């Protein structure tokens, strides 16, 4: 319950955070803390230094930028779920935010914090992948932009280097339908399987939560749709290329089955 | 593998707790819940798990429910915290506390402070909820005694009373 | 007007609602130090060596001990109070293991430090060398040939065997026109009271020991500490402060209490230990965990003639206080509320490399009820009768009823509760909706599940406990004292941990004495304040303790009557007693209140010859029979036949718990019990992996449900007062958990019956539902 000891620095700016992260081996960024602190309390994570970016309030925003929406990395799930612009122009993100954790978690957890954590059971990464979002990263060098498809590399492994700070998420405004279906046993639980579907030219982009080490693009489903298959037929191919794990929420075999049901339902919702 | 850091050192924080400014030296690893319980002696906020699952430790941070086991005391520096001890107005219970009493929404009482604080926050955000919204709104708080039936009734009654 | 039967709001609430609860972790003592237990990460291993030297050197550490360094403190180890049979293997159970660990979580060393954090930090520095041994966690595999042997003195991992046979079972089964044989798995459960356990031990310079601990059983513990540690019982005071839920799991004599006492005596400082939740998942007892084989013999139209049951029940790695007896508390109930001729029950208790099991809400009776309520529906399917018809055909319907298993049910009316449940549900309408969805091949199918249960609680007649070799009696002691200024104290040997004793018991005494509920003070949970008691378990507080309180109150009234008669110069027979006032028949102006008699009894200036001063009385009540609540619960579930997700749609509970003192509190007990039973049906399961690790070791993956997963419940009652006690009450604390599990699983099976599904293991996870449908489709 009590984390092992660490040092603590409060960052006044992103630049300072980057600098502080370089000051010690094993330094970690602390945002809302709802991904990191649970692991630290169980002493699974033992950072040497926490660099608290939680006071960089100018990183909390949802802005319109033409056809794009810009989300500050420190925007809390609660704020995303209740943001009228987001609800209107990219409802999938607001909706998915409302499904994460519980109200207390959403009052603290930030989109950037959980994206940077790289947990394959986390919902928002699959949504960002389906939206082909861009992630803005500040590190020791120039600010850079990473496509969501390149960002997630493995379990708790992302494109972020040890000194990198995620600052912004850039999304397209959505014109068409969308769906995010989260299957879980208790409301507060992580997804057994999650499916995001976004209507796109000639079909849909479909992505999967917790079907592998990273959020996955259901490429076979997308291809089938592009080839003219109906949602039910396309969904049959949802497990192709996935490598889900087995745990107390379900075996890999069940997940590979379940994902076909959820993809069909998500497509029906997004394409209706 | 243990990698104890030199970690020493404490941080000075000032937190407004139940309308009173409190200053203290805390270890960076001090969790808000233990800061409240052990440094300020406010033991009304209970600890029921170590995985941010049960909600027993729920307090209000700047008026919004948070799990105080998942907030570092240093993160609360400069902020406003309300605990169960700060909810009643003198001798008169807060409408949520009163509704919990009248609807028998507590048995052993261990989850109750966190449950009440979660409800206070929930009703601020949604003053006229449906039963289904109440149930979803309490997804982060576990109770082992009541089966939630009377808790849900109490939340609906408190919403009515506050209108 | 009497408050009995009224929903008096709880006296307990104000404190608990304002954060003034006194749970163990809220308490401290000057100079207090913190203990942290180092636990085995192996399910089974030989301890090669334990080195605490680095921990001893760490910052803030006061002391550190290996099990071997302090084992002299507890020569006999932890006690088991229920040696159920001649063949039982009372294996040694040390608070800290010295040579071998037998489950993940078995303690091996303890570190004591100035702070909670320092103790935890230093515990990581304790070096333990283990030589892993093969382990077995599955109850079905443990007795098999070639299974790892957990205790040298328990060959085949068998802890005991126990049987109960009445009637000519072989003949009944030989003659049977129909038999059904079912095999059910009672998965292992984690009680998960919201407050993890904790203990705080203080030792005075004179050696007086005060243990403040999260327990259901302060009196049992006081005796146990004497037995384990050899301390004179009079030197030990045990306090149960506010206890944050227990459900049986805080009844035990736990290692940590014994360790804390030992450390406090050694170090001369108060010692506190508080369990972390993930620690609680392995260190606090588990419930259930058995394989049940049940066979019914019946006539062709479904009249049951015999029941044969074979249990294989997991003890876990050791025998805790009442571990062996828990499966046997259900031994009489495998025919449920049905009238049968022959009865055969056999149980084998087996050791496994798991956390010990012990009493968990219902203790033996939920398991029995599950088996018979599932099996009777299997029989209904076999003989082509509806779940309602088959029950009506078999109900016991005259009371008191001598049942085949050998006990006597006090009272009941099983048809009445079934009738009422069908009415509240509007059964025909739900059946029509179910048929509509079946016809439409709707993805979301409805299932309707019944549970008509009876259970035996109010533990227990001491003579029966004696016959069962239980190590204590089943009586309860209650005292009533009217203070000189008129307020009333109740000293209760049974201690609450959420049940609302203070309110219910105040209602009982206020009713008898004719005083205000608010003028009654309830005292319990401190052996210095209430020295005698048998504590809280088995739905006994009201039907045993409450009845003791009734009789103690009567004794007070009778003594007050003597005083009033003396002072009013009337004969006792000439006094009326109403609303707390004695008055002379025919002269209502000549009278005095019971409070006035209390003052007179205290002043003692003018008492009847030979009467002792003071107005107080104690009654120790030993119940002549168990109490037998019963009822009918109906679950309606909605199953998503594509994902396998089963959700509760409606839940109707009609309970007959005899007379009700406080309906609000009784309903609250039922609600909570129902959810614990539903949780067993749908969500909860302690899962061990192949190496014996508990993989559901936190509330992240041990799925205690939240409000979001549940509906509101539809409750009502029928009333068959118990004739065995003057209050006419029965126990209610466990009925919900006993009744609900089979109702829900029967409903899931019913929902899936169009797919040919007749059985599904608990919990009925989405995956299990999906597999059942797939298998049913063939």
Chain C residue at shortest CA distance from A192: C766
Per the CB < 8 A criterion, the answer to whether C724 and C624 are in contact is yes
Residues of A with CB under 8 A from a CB of C: 1-2, 4-5, 42-43, 183, 185-189, 192, 247-251, 254, 257-258, 261-262
Share the mean pLDDT of chain B: 94
Q: Output the CA–CA distances (angstroms, integers) from residue A87 to A57, A198, C411, C751, in the order listed.
A: 22, 15, 60, 38
In this prediction, residue B16 carries a pLDDT of 98
In this prediction, residue B6 carries a pLDDT of 42
The single-letter DSSP state of residue C53 is H
CA C237 to chain centroid: 24
Chain C residue at shortest CA distance from A247: C695
Q: What is the spatial distance between Cα C36 and Cα C45, in angstroms, rounded to a whole number? A: 21
Candidates A244, A256, A252, A246; CA nearest to A212 is A244
Phi, psi dihedral angles at C767 (to 5 degrees):
-65, -45
User: H/E element holding C588?
Assistant: strand C587-593
Name which of C18, C244, C712 is nearest B149 (Cβ-Cβ).
C712
- Contact check, Cβ <8 Å, B145/C124: no
Chain B residue at shortest CA distance from A27: B5
User: H/E element holding C131?
Assistant: strand C127-132
Candidates C533, C723, C539, C552; CA nearest to C625 is C723
Name which of B34, B85, B107 is nearest C498 (Cβ-Cβ).
B107
Residue B2 — pLDDT band, cuts 50, 70, 90?
Answer: very low
C204 three-state secondary structure = coil
Q: Is C132 exposed, middle or buried (0-12, 13-18, 19+ CB in 10 A)?
A: middle
C695 CB neighbours in chain A (<8 A) are 247-248
Per the CB < 8 A criterion, the answer to whether C447 and C438 are in contact is no
Average pLDDT value for residue range C49-55: 98
Candidates A33, A8, C119; CA nearest to B5 is A8
Q: What is the spatial distance between Cα C92 and Cα C79, in angstroms, rounded to a whole number? A: 9
CA C597 to chain centroid: 41
Q: Mutual orientation of helices C427-439 and C414-425 as an angle, nearest 10°?
A: 60
Per the CB < 8 A criterion, the answer to whether B81 and B59 are in contact is yes
Residues 6 or more apart in contact with residue C720 via CB below 8 angstroms? C399, C411, C412, C413, C630, C656, C658
User: H/E element holding A148?
Assistant: helix A148-151
A51 three-state secondary structure = strand
C114 three-state secondary structure = coil
Residue C778 — pLDDT band, cuts 50, 70, 90?
Answer: confident
The structure tokens 């409240």 sit at B36
Candidates C426, C450, C449, C445; CA nearest to C751 is C445
In this prediction, residue B130 carries a pLDDT of 98
Token readout for C503 is 């309110």
CA C18 to chain centroid: 28
Residue C3 — pLDDT band, cuts 50, 70, 90?
Answer: very high
A177 three-state secondary structure = coil
- Contact check, Cβ <8 Å, C766/A250: yes
Per the CB < 8 A criterion, the answer to whether C71 and C96 are in contact is yes
| Residue C147 pLDDT greater than 60, yes or no | yes
A54 CB neighbours in chain B (<8 A) are 75
Chain B residue at shortest CA distance from C713: B149
In this prediction, residue C101 carries a pLDDT of 98
Residue B8 — pLDDT band, cuts 50, 70, 90?
Answer: low
Average pLDDT value for residue range C366-376: 98
Question: CA C195, B54, B119 angle in degrees (round to 5)?
Answer: 110
- Contact check, Cβ <8 Å, C699/B150: no
Residue B3 — pLDDT band, cuts 50, 70, 90?
Answer: very low
Candidates C498, C217, C543, C186; CA nearest to C365 is C186
Token readout for C547 is 């009845």
Q: What is the pLDDT of residues C423-442, one digit of tens each?
A: 999 999 999 999 999 999 99
Q: What is the pLDDT of residues C716-730, one digit of tens each?
A: 999 999 999 999 999
Per the CB < 8 A criterion, the answer to whether A235 and A221 are in contact is yes
Q: What is the pLDDT of residues C734-762, one digit of tens each?
A: 999 999 999 999 999 999 999 999 999 99
Q: What is the pLDDT of residues C274-311, one digit of tens each?
A: 999 999 999 999 999 999 999 999 999 999 999 999 99
| Residue B118 pLDDT greater than 80, yes or no | yes
Candidates C508, C487, C503; CA nearest to C593 is C487
Q: Is C197 exposed, middle or buried (0-12, 13-18, 19+ CB in 10 A)?
A: buried
Beta-sheet pairing, C342-351 with C304-316: parallel
B116 CB neighbours in chain C (<8 A) are 17
In this prediction, residue C1 carries a pLDDT of 72
Chains touching B (at least 3 CB pairs under 8 A) are A, C
Residue C599 — pLDDT band, cuts 50, 70, 90?
Answer: very high
Centre a 10 Å sphere on the Cβ of residue C609 and count the other Cβ atoms it contains.
5
C390 three-state secondary structure = helix
Question: CA C145, C146, C152 angle in degrees (round to 5)?
Answer: 100
What percentage of chain C has pLDDT greater than the value 70? Answer: 100
Chain B residue at shortest CA distance from A30: B75
Average pLDDT value for residue range C609-627: 97
- Contact check, Cβ <8 Å, B43/C124: no
- Contact check, Cβ <8 Å, C13/B150: no
Chain A residue at shortest CA distance from B12: A8
The structure tokens 């030990």 sit at C236
Residues 6 or more apart in contact with residue B150 via CB below 8 angstroms? B103, B104, B105, C667, C668, C671
In this prediction, residue B1 carries a pLDDT of 26
DSSP for chain B, please give it: ----------EEEEEEETTEEEEEEE-TT-BHHHIIIIIS--TTS----SSS-S-TTEEEETTEEEEGGGSBGGGGTT-EEE-GGGTSBTTBPPHHHHHHHHTT--SS-SSHHHHHHHHHHHHHH-SS--HHHHHHHTTT---SSSTTHHHHHHHHHHHHHH-
Token readout for C467 is 């016959």
Compute the nearest-CA separation of B91 from chain A (Å): 28
Tell me, yes or no, if C777 comes closer than 8 A to chain A by beta carbon. Answer: no
In this prediction, residue B5 carries a pLDDT of 38
User: H/E element holding A152?
Assistant: strand A152-154
The number of helices, as runs of H, and strands, as runs of E, in chain C is 19, 28
Mean pLDDT by 10 residues, chain A (272 residues): 96 97 96 94 96 96 97 98 98 98 98 96 98 97 97 97 97 96 97 97 94 98 96 98 97 98 98 92
- Contact check, Cβ <8 Å, C766/A5: no
Q: Output the CA–CA distances (angstroms, integers) from residue C355 to C101, C131, C585, C685, in the order listed.
A: 11, 20, 65, 14
| Residue B41 pLDDT greater than 50, yes or no | yes
| Residue B84 pLDDT greater than 80, yes or no | yes
What percentage of chain C has pLDDT greater than the value 90? Answer: 99
| Beta bridge partners of residue C46, listed in sequence order | C100, C131
Question: What are the residue ranges of helices labelled H in C468-546?
Answer: 501-513
CB pairs under 8 A between B and C: 186
N- to C-terminal Cα separation, chain B: 56
Token readout for C312 is 């294989």
C765 CB neighbours in chain A (<8 A) are 185, 250
């Amino acid at each position: 319950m009590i984390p092992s000891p660490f040092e603590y620095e409060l960052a006044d700016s992103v630049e300072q955070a980057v600098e502080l992260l370089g000051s010690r081996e094993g330094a970690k960024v602390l945002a809302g803390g709802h991904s990191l602190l649970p692991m630290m309390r169980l002493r699974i994570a033992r950072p040497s230094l926490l660099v608290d970016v939680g006071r960089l309030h100018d990183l909390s925003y949802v802005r319109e930028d033409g056809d794009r929406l810009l989300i500050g990395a420190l925007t809390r799930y609660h704020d995303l779920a209740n943001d009228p612009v987001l609800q209107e122009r990219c409802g999938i993100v607001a909706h998915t935010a409302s499904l994460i954790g519980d109200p207390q978690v959403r009052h603290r957890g930030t989109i950037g914090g959980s994206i940077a954590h790289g947990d394959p059971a986390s919902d928002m990464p699959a949504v960002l992948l389906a939206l082909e979002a861009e992630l803005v990263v500040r590190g020791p060098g120039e600010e850079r932009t990473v496509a969501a498809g390149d960002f997630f590399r493995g379990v708790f492994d992302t494109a972020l280097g040890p000194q990198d700070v995620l600052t912004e998420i850039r999304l397209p405004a959505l014109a068409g339908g969308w769906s995010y279906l989260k299957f879980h046993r208790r409301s507060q639980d992580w997804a057994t399987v999650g499916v995001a579907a976004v209507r796109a030219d000639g079909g849909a982009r479909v992505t999967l939560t917790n079907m592998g080490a990273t959020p996955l693009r259901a490429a076979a489903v997308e291809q089938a749709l592009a080839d003219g298959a109906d949602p039910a037929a396309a969904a049959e191919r949802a497990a192709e290329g996935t490598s889900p794990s087995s745990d107390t929420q379900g075996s890999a075999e069940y997940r590979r089955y379940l994902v076909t049901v959820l993809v069909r339902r998500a497509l029906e919702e997004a394409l209706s | 593998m243990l990698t104890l850091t030199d970690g020493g050192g404490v941080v000075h924080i000032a937190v407004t707790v139940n309308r009173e400014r409190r200053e203290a030296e805390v270890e960076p690893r001090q969790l808000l819940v233990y800061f409240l319980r052990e440094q300020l002696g406010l033991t009304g906020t209970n600890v029921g798990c170590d995985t941010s699952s049960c909600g027993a430790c729920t307090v209000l941070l700047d008026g919004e429910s948070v799990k105080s086991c998942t907030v570092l005391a240093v993160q609360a520096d400069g902020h406003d915290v309300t605990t169960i001890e700060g909810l009643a107005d003198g001798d008169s219970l807060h409408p949520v506390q009163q509704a919990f009493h009248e609807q028998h929404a507590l048995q052993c009482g261990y989850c109750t402070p966190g449950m009440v604080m979660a409800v206070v926050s929930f009703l601020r955000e949604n003053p006229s909820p449906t039963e289904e919204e109440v149930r979803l709104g309490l997804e982060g708080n576990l109770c082992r005694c009541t089966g939630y039936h009377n808790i849900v009734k109490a939340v609906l009654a408190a919403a009515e009373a506050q209108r | 007007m009497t408050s009995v039967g009224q929903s008096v709001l709880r006296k307990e609430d104000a404190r608990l609602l304002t954060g003034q609860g006194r749970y163990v972790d809220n308490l401290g003592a000057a100079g207090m130090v913190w203990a942290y237990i180092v636990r085995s990460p192996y399910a089974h291993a030989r301890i090669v060596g334990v080195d605490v030297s680095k921990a001893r050197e760490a910052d803030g550490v006061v002391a550190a001990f290996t099990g071997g360094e302090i084992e002299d403190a507890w020569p006999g180890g932890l006690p088991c109070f229920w040696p159920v049979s001649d063949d039982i293997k009372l294996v040694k159970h040390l608070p800290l293991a010295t040579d071998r660990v037998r489950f993940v979580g078995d303690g091996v060393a303890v570190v004591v430090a100035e702070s909670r954090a320092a103790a935890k930090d230093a515990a990581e520095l304790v070096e333990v060398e283990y030589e892993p041994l093969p382990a077995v966690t599955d109850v079905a595999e443990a007795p098999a040939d070639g299974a790892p042997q957990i205790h040298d003195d328990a060959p085949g991992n068998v802890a005991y065997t126990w049987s109960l046979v009445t009637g000519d079972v072989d003949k009944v089964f030989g003659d049977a026109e129909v038999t059904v044989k079912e095999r059910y798995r009672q998965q292992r459960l984690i009680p998960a009271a919201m407050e993890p356990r904790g203990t705080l031990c203080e030792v005075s310079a004179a050696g007086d020991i005060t243990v403040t601990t999260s327990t259901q059983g302060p009196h049992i513990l006081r005796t146990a500490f004497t037995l384990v540690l050899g301390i004179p019982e009079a030197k030990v005071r045990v306090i149960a402060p506010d206890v944050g839920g227990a459900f049986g799991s805080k009844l035990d004599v736990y290692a940590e209490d014994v360790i804390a006492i030992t450390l406090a005596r050694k170090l001369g400082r108060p010692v506190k230990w508080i369990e972390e939740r993930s620690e609680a998942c392995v260190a606090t007892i588990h419930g259930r965990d058995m394989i049940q084989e049940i066979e019914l013999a019946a006539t062709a139209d479904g009249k049951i003639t015999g029941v044969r049951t074979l249990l294989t029940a997991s003890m876990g790695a050791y025998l805790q206080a009442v571990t062996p007896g828990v499966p046997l508390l259900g031994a009489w109930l495998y025919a449920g509320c049905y009238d049968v001729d022959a009865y055969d029950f056999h149980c084998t208790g087996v050791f496994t490399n798991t956390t010990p099991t012990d009493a968990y809400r219902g203790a033996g009776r939920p398991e029995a009820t599950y088996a018979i309520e599932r099996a009777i529906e299997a029989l209904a399917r076999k003989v082509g009768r509806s779940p309602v018809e088959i029950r009506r055909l078999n109900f016991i319907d005259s009371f008191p009823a001598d049942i085949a298993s050998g006990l006597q049910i006090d009272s009941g009316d099983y048809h009445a509760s079934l009738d009422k449940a069908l009415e509240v549900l509007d059964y025909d309408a739900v059946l029509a909706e179910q048929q509509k969805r079946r016809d439409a091949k709707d993805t979301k199918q409805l299932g309707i599940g019944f549970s008509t249960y009876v259970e035996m609680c109010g533990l227990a007649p001491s003579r029966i406990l004696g016959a069962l070799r239980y190590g204590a009696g089943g009586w309860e002691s209650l005292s009533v004292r009217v203070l000189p200024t008129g307020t009333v104290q109740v000293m209760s040997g049974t201690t609450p941990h959420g049940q609302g004793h203070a309110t219910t018991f105040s209602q009982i005494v206020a009713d008898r004495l004719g005083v205000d509920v608010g003028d009654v003070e309830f005292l319990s949970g401190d052996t210095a304040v209430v020295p005698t008691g048998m504590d809280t378990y088995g739905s006994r507080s009201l039907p045993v303790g409450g009845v003791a309180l009734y009789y103690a109150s009567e004794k007070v009234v009778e003594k007050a009557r003597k005083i009033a008669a003396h002072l009013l110069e009337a004969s006792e027979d000439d006094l009326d007693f109403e609303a707390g006032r004695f008055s002379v028949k025919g002269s209502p102006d000549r009278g005095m209140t019971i409070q006035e008699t209390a003052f007179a009894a205290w002043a003692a200036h003018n008492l009847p010859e030979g009467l002792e001063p003071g107005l107080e009385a104690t009654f120790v009540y030993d119940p002549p029979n168990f109490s037998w609540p019963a009822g009918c619960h109906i679950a309606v579930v909605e199953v998503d036949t594509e994902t396998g997700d089963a959700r509760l749609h409606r839940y109707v509970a009609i309970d007959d718990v005899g007379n009700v003192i406080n309906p609000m509190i009784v309903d609250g007990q039922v609600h909570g019990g129902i959810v614990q039973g539903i949780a067993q049906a749908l969500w909860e399961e302690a899962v061990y992996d192949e190496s014996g690790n508990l993989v559901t070791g936190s509330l992240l993956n041990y799925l205690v449900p939240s409000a979001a997963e549940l509906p509101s419940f539809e409750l009502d009652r029928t009333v068959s007062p118990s004739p065995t006690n003057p209050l006419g009450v029965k126990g209610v604390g466990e009925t919900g958990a006993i009744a609900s599990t089979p109702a829900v699983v029967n409903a899931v099976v019913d929902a899936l019956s169009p797919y040919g599904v007749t059985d599904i293991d608990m919990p009925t996870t989405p995956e299990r539902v999906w597999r059942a449908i797939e298998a049913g489709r063939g």
